[in-house]
Structure 1
Amino acid sequence: MNLLYWLDPWEFSPTVVIALLLPAILFVRGARKANVSLARRVSFWFGLVALYVALHTRLDYFFEHEFFMHRAQHLVLHHLGPFFIALSYPGAALRAGIPLSWRQRFVQPALRTPLVRTLLDVVMHPVVAVTLFVGLIYFWLMSPVHFVAMLDWRLYRVMNWSMVIDGLLFWWLVLDPRPASPARLSPGKRVLVVIAAIPPQIILGAFIFFTPHELYPIYSICGRAFTWLSPMRDQQIGGLLLWIPGSMMSVIGALVALRHWMRLSARGRLRGEQRAKIANATNAAAAKSASSTAAGHR
Structure 2
Amino acid sequence: MRESVRVHHVEELTLTSALLSWKFALWWNLLIVLLGAAYAAGVVRLRREKPERNWPAHRSWLFAFGLVSLFVAMNSFVAVYSHALFTMHMVQHLMLIMLVPALLVYGKPLRLWSELDGSGRVERVLRGRTVGILTHPAWTMVLYSVVLVATHLTPFMQVMLLNPWLHHAESVLYLVTGYLTFLPLLGKEPTRWQHFPYPLRVFSSLMGMGPDTGIGVILMMADDPLFPAYGMMRDWWIDDGTLSVLADQRLGGGIMWFFGDALMAVFALVLVKQWMRAKGSEAGFGNWLESARRSALAETDSEAESAVRNLRAAEDVDEDERARQAYNAMLARLARQDGEHRQSGR
In which range does the TM-score fall when normalised by the shorter chain? Answer: 0.7 to 0.9
What do the CA deviations read for 1:130-149 (whole angstroms, capped 9, x no partner)? Answer: 11112111111134111111
Tell me the equivalent position of 1:76: 95
The equivalent position to 2:164 in structure 1, one of 153, 156, 163, is 153
CA pair 193-267 structure 1, distance change in 2 beyond 3 A: closer
Tell me the equivalent position of 2:309: none
CA pair 24-134 structure 1, distance change in 2 beyond 3 A: same
Contact 1:65 1:224 in 2 (8 A): no
Q: Do structure 1's residue 127 and structure 2's residue 127 form an aligned pair?
A: no
Contact 2:111 2:189 in 1 (8 A): no
- Rg larger for: 2
What do the CA deviations read for 1:75-113 (whole angstroms, capped 9, x no partner)? Answer: 1000111112222333333445x6x5xx869x739937x
Q: What secondary structure is seen at the aligned counterpart in 2 of 1:275?
A: coil
Corresponding letter in the other structure for 1:241: I
Contact 1:143 1:216 in 2 (8 A): no
1:55-66 matches, cutoff 5 A: 55-57=74-76, 59-66=78-85
Tell me the equivalent position of 1:292: none
Query: How far 1:167 moved relative to its partner?
Result: 0.5
Tell me the equivalent position of 2:341: none
CA pair 284-202 structure 1, distance change in 2 beyond 3 A: same
Tell me the equivalent position of 1:22: 34
The runs of 5 or more residues in structure 2 that have no matched partner are: 1-15, 47-52, 291-314, 329-346
Tell me the equivalent position of 1:278: 319
CA pair 229-170 structure 1, distance change in 2 beyond 3 A: same
Corresponding letter in the other structure for 1:22: L
Q: Percent identity among equivalent residues?
A: 21
Tell me the equivalent position of 1:290: none
The higher-RCO structure (CA 8 Å, 6+ apart) is 1
Q: Partners of 2:326 and 2:153 in 1: how far apart?
A: 63
Q: What secondary structure is seen at the aligned counterpart in 2 of 1:140?
A: helix
1:79-98 matches, cutoff 5 A: 79-95=98-114
Contact 1:26 1:94 in 2 (8 A): no
Q: Partners of 1:286 and 1:78 in 2: how far apart?
A: 48
Work out the number of aligned pairs and report it: 276
CA pair 109-153 structure 1, distance change in 2 beyond 3 A: farther
Name the TM-score, length of structure 2 as normaliser: 0.68
Q: Do structure 1's residue 31 and structure 2's residue 43 form an aligned pair?
A: yes
Contact 1:83 1:168 in 2 (8 A): yes
Root-mean-square deviation over aligned CA pairs:
3.5
The equivalent position to 1:54 in structure 2, one of 70, 73, 87, is 73
Q: Partners of 1:72 and 1:38 in 2: how far apart?
A: 29
Q: Partners of 2:256 and 2:219 in 1: how far apart?
A: 9
Contact 2:21 2:77 in 1 (8 A): yes
What do the CA deviations read for 1:37-94 (whole angstroms, capped 9, x no partner)? Answer: 3332222211111112112345422011000100000010001111122223333334
Corresponding letter in the other structure for 2:257: W
Tell me the equivalent position of 1:291: none
The equivalent position to 1:244 in structure 2, one of 247, 253, 258, is 258
Q: Partners of 1:94 and 1:45 in 2: how far apart?
A: 16
Name the TM-score, length of structure 1 as normaliser: 0.78
Tell me the equivalent position of 1:40: 59
Contact 2:22 2:76 in 1 (8 A): yes
Query: How far 1:156 moved relative to its partner?
Result: 1.5
Query: How far 1:283 moved relative to its partner?
Result: 4.0
Q: Partners of 1:93 and 1:224 in 2: how far apart?
A: 48
